[in-house]
Amino acid sequence: MRTCYLAAYGHVASAEDTADHLAKAYGDELVAAGLADDTMRFLIVTRELDDGQRIDAGYAWLVKAEAPEPLRARLAVELRRFFLHPDSIGSGAAEPLMAALLDQARQWCADGVFLSVWKESPRAIRFYGRQGFRACATVHFSIGSAHYDDWLMWRTV
């Protein structure tokens, strides 16, 4: 998880703030607690290389959650993390991972899925757009003392 974060966003904040963010948001204890929590799911997508070897290509972390304003959903799912390993970006693995998480949201009888994505991540925004997510508000995100604008995106399931 830390490798995926560093490859995608390791350049965004200062080294000190990035290390602090990794410890807080990607720490082993937090992930272990998430794995034990029945309101959360971690999904891993694999893919086959040309030599037949199967590798982990990426992961999604889902949380049953109340939808934030301005969304008015009875029950929503927050897509808290959605990352491919850098070697698997552009491999087509993102699509089956998205399909699996939407299935999980349906099993939870959720109305929809929401996520926040940095406004300066055009590739991720394009992918979510193709997957039926729509930007519906600006939300703010901080890493250390630096502040960033994210899109809050939503799609029904």
Running DSSP on this structure, what letter comes out for residue 116? E
With binding defined as CB under 6 A, does residue 114 bind ligand COA? no
Question: Among residues 110 and 151, whose Cβ is nearest to ligand COA?
Answer: 151
Q: What is the DSSP letter of 14?
A: -
- Pick between residue 95 and residue 103 the one whose CB is nearest to ligand COA: 95
Binding to ligand COA (CB under 6 A) within 123-142 occurs at 123-124, 126-127
- The pair of three-digit structure tokens given for residue 80, joined into one six-digit string: 């808290």
* HSE (side-chain half, CA atoms, 13 Å) at 68: 14
CB of 110 to ligand COA, least distance (A): 18
In this chain, which of 6, 8, 31, 43 binds ligand COA, going by CB under 6 A? 8
SS3 75: coil
Binding mask 53-92 for ligand COA (x = CB under 6 A): -----------------------------xxx----xxxx
CB of 79 to ligand COA, least distance (A): 8
Q: Decide: 42 and 78 in contact? Cβ < 8 Å.
A: no
Yes or no: say if 4 and 85 are a contact pair by the CB < 8 Å rule: yes
Beta-strand pair 112-118/76-84: parallel
Residue 27 vs 92, nearer CB to ligand COA: 92
Record the tokens describing residue 113, joined without a space: 């899925």
Pairing of strands 40-48, 134-143: unpaired
- Binding ligand COA (rule: CB under 6 A), the pick from 76, 117, 143, 157 is 117
Q: Which residues make up the interface to ligand COA (CB under 6 A)?
A: 8, 82-84, 89-92, 94-95, 115, 117, 121, 123-124, 126-127
